[in-house]
């Protein structure tokens, strides 16, 4: 997904498990919080996976 601009993308319940998003642009924490990452999801610097409830 290198170079993909995720600015404004609706990631509500998006399955981003095991996806490398490290080279995307425009991704913000609130988008990650609404998606479904797992421990293998790689995020851009400054973002973190939400805690699993």
Q: Which residues of the chain fall below pLDDT 70?
A: 52-53
Residue extents of the structural domains in the chain: 1-45
Burial tier of 13 (Cβ tally within 10 Å: 0-12, 13-18, 19+): exposed
- Dump pLDDT digits (tens) for 21-31: 999 999 999 99
Look over the chain and give the mean of its residue pLDDT values, rounded to a whole number.
94
Pick the closest to residue 22 from 39, 46, 38 (CA basis): 46
């Amino acid at each position: 997904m290198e170079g993909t601009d995720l600015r404004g993308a609706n990631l509500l319940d998006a399955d981003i498990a095991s996806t490398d998003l490290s080279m995307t642009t425009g991704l913000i924490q609130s988008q990650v919080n609404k998606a479904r990452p797992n421990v293998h999801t790689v995020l851009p610097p400054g973002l973190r996976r939400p805690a699993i409830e």
